[in-house]
Structure 1
């Protein structure tokens, strides 16, 4: 696979119309172009010093992440780019379009938890950052907690605010701490709300709204959309070796 092939794949997969919505918001793109040919592709949620070094160690040609390196962390992005440039590694990130995609973060994690996607919410200028999932047989709160912890391979935070079995759940992976999103999940009949970050207002509003709140990490609630994306890439370009870049559970 050539870098040009990958560019065309991204346009075909996410569509020009969707990409145009976020064109001016720096929600996707290349931060470095390395070797023209891609023989080995690595993926992870975050672009950090650690993930870049893992990519180098594993001889990756193309690193795909959900997040770009955070520019407000003074000096970090420059240091990461130095590592990528020295090793001729191409880096591409895909943020809001992957949140919105029908195979993206929210849909992928719901399917792995055994829920069917029935609706979308959390609209950000025409891009939907959340999904509503429903399960055939309602599940006990603690069983859902256990299922999530097994999937994420990490403990989660939990607040049980009602005694109902859980049939419908609202999910906004990553930084879904907004009380507005919780309000919308309640309106859409959800028994629980699951996200990757929380603040005081998240907990307070969930308690007020009597909706169960489940909070994993930002990093590991968002890895499954990338997993789905690279599977699609591998179907089109089976000659490309795919590897998941290891990230630590630091949150």
Structure 2
């Protein structure tokens, strides 16, 4: 077993949880405490009812998620929300959520890990907002077709691509999740391609107008990397068994 407060202290410091501004509903950090002892580290992308019920099969576990319990703000604890809280408390489950702090972490963040999985080189941070990097950019110097294949291989699913006139892709920006709305800012960097998770219809049109190759690789699929890696780090550091719950699969 491990002590919850020690794990939380490590996470808060390593992720700089209190320093990085996020959506109010993200509520980064420990969202639900337990009795104080942790038996296992379980990671998942979403704190969904199905994920919590699966994690609750291990009493006293820590559930580490990217998308936490409170995205919609204060709401009545009824229906699925009641089911989540009830299942977690009955199983003495602790829940820790980390959204933007995990996306931008320089070692085990979603952005850097996806960039490495694709095979980008000389990766650097870009699009800094309030002192924090929104994304990363790396060198590809290969064909657009090869980039599409590499992205699909990295996320394990078919992807949607807005093709540009550029046969050779030299630099690629990566911002995981639902970040296609950054398409104009990415294009202004002068890069050739942008890899993200998902976006609205207009983002495809904007990319086409700007002759920017835009690859939609799936919101969920691009954000499994960080929680998988961080969960494994926690398990190793605190001598606990670890598990990743892959609920949505290739989406």
* Shorter-chain TM-score tier: 0.7 to 0.9
| Partner in structure 2 of residue 88 of structure 1 | 92
| Partner in structure 2 of residue 112 of structure 1 | 117
Contact 1:97 1:127 in 2 (8 A): no
Of the candidates 122, 127, 130, which is equivalent to residue 125 of structure 1? 130
Structure 1 unmatched ranges of 5 or more:
none
Of the candidates 155, 159, 178, which is equivalent to residue 156 of structure 1? 159
Contact 2:144 2:169 in 1 (8 A): yes
Secondary structure of 1:20's aligned partner: coil
Superimposed CA distance per residue, residues 30-59 of structure 1 (whole angstroms, 9 cap, x where no aligned partner): 222124222211111111011112212355
The answer as to 2:21 corresponding to 1:22 is yes
1:177/1:89 Cα in 2 relative to 1: closer, same or farther (>3 Å)?
A: same
Contact 1:154 1:249 in 2 (8 A): no
Contact 2:44 2:51 in 1 (8 A): yes
Secondary structure of 1:106's aligned partner: helix
Structure 2 unmatched ranges of 5 or more:
none
Secondary structure of 1:42's aligned partner: strand
1:129/1:79 Cα in 2 relative to 1: closer, same or farther (>3 Å)?
A: farther
Contact 1:117 1:131 in 2 (8 A): no
Matches within 5 A, 1:1-251: 1-15=2-16, 19-22=18-21, 25=24, 26-57=26-57, 61-69=61-69, 70-71=71-72, 75-103=79-107, 104-135=109-140, 138-178=141-181, 181-237=182-238, 239-249=239-249, 251=251
1:235 deviates by 4.0
Contact 1:234 1:242 in 2 (8 A): yes
1:248/1:60 Cα in 2 relative to 1: closer, same or farther (>3 Å)?
A: farther
Superimposed CA distance per residue, residues 198-233 of structure 1 (whole angstroms, 9 cap, x where no aligned partner): 112210110011011100211110111122322332
Contact 1:27 1:97 in 2 (8 A): no
TM-score in terms of structure 1 length: 0.87
TM-score in terms of structure 2 length: 0.87
CA-atom RMSD in angstroms = 2.3
> In structure 2, what is the Cα distance between the partners aligned to 1:201 and 1:132?
23
> In structure 2, what is the Cα distance between the partners aligned to 1:183 and 1:24?
21
Contact 1:55 1:63 in 2 (8 A): yes
> In structure 1, what is the Cα distance between the partners aligned to 2:39 and 2:214?
42
> In structure 2, what is the Cα distance between the partners aligned to 1:132 and 1:33?
37
Larger mean Cα displacement after TM superposition, 203-212 or 240-249: 240-249
